[in-house]
Amino acid sequence: MLPIIGIIVVFGAVIAGFLMEKGNILVLLQPSEMVTIIGAACGTMLVANPVHIIKAIMAGVLETLGASKFGKTRYLDTLRMMYELCNKVRKKGLMGIEDDVEKPLESEIFKKYPDFLKDSHILAFLCDTLRTAITGGVEPFDMDQMMELDMEVTHHNVMEPVHALTTVADALPGLGIVAAVLGVVITMGALGGPPEEIGKKVAAALVGTFLGILLCYGLVGPLASSMTKRADEHNSYLYVLRVIILAFLKGLAPILAIEMGRRAIPEHVRPTFDEMEKGCKRPAAVAEPAVEAPA
């Protein structure tokens, strides 16, 4: 919601300032300049990027217009889910969660957390890691290295559309100049005509530069920056899972592993210890005592 408000404020402030100086709003409506700048920008994006990145750009832009999916509620649900998994391992051993990680959509634990199931990559990250742990013979250090590698590759892939959109933003002022130069060429061809007509053509040419700069710094650039922050949020969420898994595989009790994960959550969405305890420990108080620690 905030990005939409921000876009409205940017364009509203620019137009309001123009109108305060008795400007004619119709002068800014130059379809030919818009076609030149926006069309050329889309063309450069098509030239520079494969189809999957273009699709990711469109999906990323739409995602930035909504609320973040990694809020405090999502993290609380994740801590509760991981606490249930860890307790199940303590009771039944790592083999006890084999069905959960092999068929997560049918898992009684995962079914309680539909938001988690919707994110296919995060689900795969957790299940593949636990599946590797179930096979045995992997030291916690090696497991940590595998998770870190997975996170690096994922972050690189998530950042590719951001870099592509940033490149388009950087190109927009130049494309605005191209549109302005074309407008000047047209103006030069109209020399000798009525002064009013020449003035309109000069204004149209200047609007091209104006649009290129405004779209760069007022729309596309901020959207790319917002996508970067969403990518960082995704990486932070994976890091919390990584901390919990590694802590538990090292032999810490479930509640301590969850507490370590809670400490890794970004501060502005981090649940308090009491919130974590109410969500995890108290509902699990009736659980059977542990019979086996993770290998």
Any domain includes 161: yes
Tens of pLDDT, residue by residue over 56-111, are 999 999 988 888 889 999 999 999 999 999 999 988 888 889 899 999 998 889 99
Any domain includes 7: yes
Any domain includes 197: yes
Say if residue 167's pLDDT is above 90.
Answer: yes
Amino acid at 160: E
**Confidence category of residue 219, pLDDT binned at 50, 70, 90:** very high
**Confidence category of residue 198, pLDDT binned at 50, 70, 90:** confident
Which of 124-133, 162-171, 194-203 is the least confident region? 194-203
Model confidence, pTM: 0.84
Any domain includes 152: yes
Tens of pLDDT, residue by residue over 14-61, are 999 988 888 888 888 888 888 999 999 999 999 999 999 999 999 999
> Domain tally for the chain?
1
Any domain includes 63: yes
**Confidence category of residue 184, pLDDT binned at 50, 70, 90:** confident
Say if residue 292's pLDDT is above 80.
Answer: no
Any domain includes 143: yes
Say if residue 126's pLDDT is above 90.
Answer: yes
Any domain includes 289: no
Say if residue 246's pLDDT is above 80.
Answer: yes
Domain that holds residue 245: 2-279
